[in-house]
């Protein structure tokens, strides 16, 4: 393939930290390929929509999974072509993959077994359980009781504004009434999944400094740990990064 025919991938990510990290984690993605800052998930979606119309080059929008359900992921992929969701909550969760963490710590002189790492991560995740539960409840309630108010023909602007405030008030009241019932439903499912899924569901971004303090106090905090993990993830990619590399390779074939 000539230079003029070479495929050029645009990889759109949520922020500058993702740009910096993925440049390290995807060493084969060199120019003329681009890693672009989409300025948040909505910006990633908007950029992907733009790239899907009138551009003949491949693109991929990389988003954190956050606490989206499988159904929410499928809906997002249907609405916006070219989205790739990390399989765990955020990129930090991928970097805290226990086998990678064990390897990086071993290579930096911190003799910590994978079982010890898993125990520390489980403890940190358990501390976050209530917040994860509350966030899932809020997401469920917003999804169930959130509706749009459209402008009606001939309606004055102040009338539309009033109806939107009324709809917001009614929605908040409905959520307040339903919160305990939804909380119990979410609790049942979350308790059943927690042991197997806590490393996917917990907030890796918030956990990073705790992990550094407990497992690698000599690495100058979360930043030193991140540097070590990024270095060793090149040859020992966690599952989400391996899947991303495969998808990029597919698009560039």
CA atoms in the 13 A half-sphere facing the CB of 10: 18
Q: Could you list the beta-strand ranges (E) of the chain.
A: 10-13, 34-37, 59-63, 83-85
**Could you give the percent of the chain with pLDDT greater than 90?**
74
pLDDT digit string (tens) for 59-88?
999 999 999 999 999 999 999 999 999 999
Q: What are phi and psi of 145, to 5 degrees?
A: -125, 30
Q: Are 189 and 137 in contact (CB under 8 A)?
A: no
- The helix/strand/coil state of 100 is helix
Q: Are 82 and 61 in contact (CB under 8 A)?
A: yes
pTM above threshold 0.75: yes
> What fold is seen in the domain 1-96+238-253?
Dna Topoisomerase Vi A Subunit; Chain: A, domain 2 (3.40.1360)
Kindly state the average pLDDT of the residues 117-139.
97
pLDDT digit string (tens) for 150-188?
878 888 888 888 888 887 887 787 778 788 999 999 999
User: Considering the chain, what is the average pLDDT of its residues?
Assistant: 92
Q: Which residues contact 15 (CB under 8 A, 6 or more apart)?
A: 37, 38, 39, 40
Q: Does the pLDDT of residue 149 top 80, yes or no?
A: no
């Amino acid at each position: 393939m000539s230079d003029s025919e070479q495929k050029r991938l645009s990889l759109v990510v949520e922020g500058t930290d993702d740009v910096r990290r993925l440049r390290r984690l995807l060493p084969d993605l060199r120019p003329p390929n681009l890693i672009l800052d989409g300025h948040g998930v909505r910006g990633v979606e908007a950029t992907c929509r733009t790239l899907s119309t009138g551009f003949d080059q491949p693109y991929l929008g990389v988003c954190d999974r956050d606490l989206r359900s499988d159904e929410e992921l499928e809906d997002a992929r249907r609405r916006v072509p070219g989205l790739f969701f990390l399989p765990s909550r955020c990129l930090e969760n991928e970097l805290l993959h226990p086998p990678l963490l064990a390897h990086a710590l071993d290579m930096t002189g911190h003799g910590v077994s994978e079982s010890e790492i898993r125990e520390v991560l489980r403890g940190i995740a358990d501390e976050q359980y209530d917040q994860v539960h509350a966030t899932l409840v809020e997401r469920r309630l917003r999804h169930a009781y959130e509706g749009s108010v459209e402008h009606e023909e001939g309606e004055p602007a102040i009338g539309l504004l009033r109806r939107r405030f009324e709809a917001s008030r009614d929605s908040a009241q409905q959520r307040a009434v339903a919160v305990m019932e939804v909380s119990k439903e979410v609790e049942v499912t979350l308790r059943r999944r927690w042991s197997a899924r806590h490393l996917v569901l917990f907030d890796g971004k918030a956990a990073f400094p705790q992990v550094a303090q407990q497992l690698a106090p000599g690495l100058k905090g979360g930043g030193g740990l991140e540097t070590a993990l990024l270095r060793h993830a090149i040859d020992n990619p966690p599952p989400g990064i391996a899947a991303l590399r495969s998808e990029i390779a597919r698009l560039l074939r």
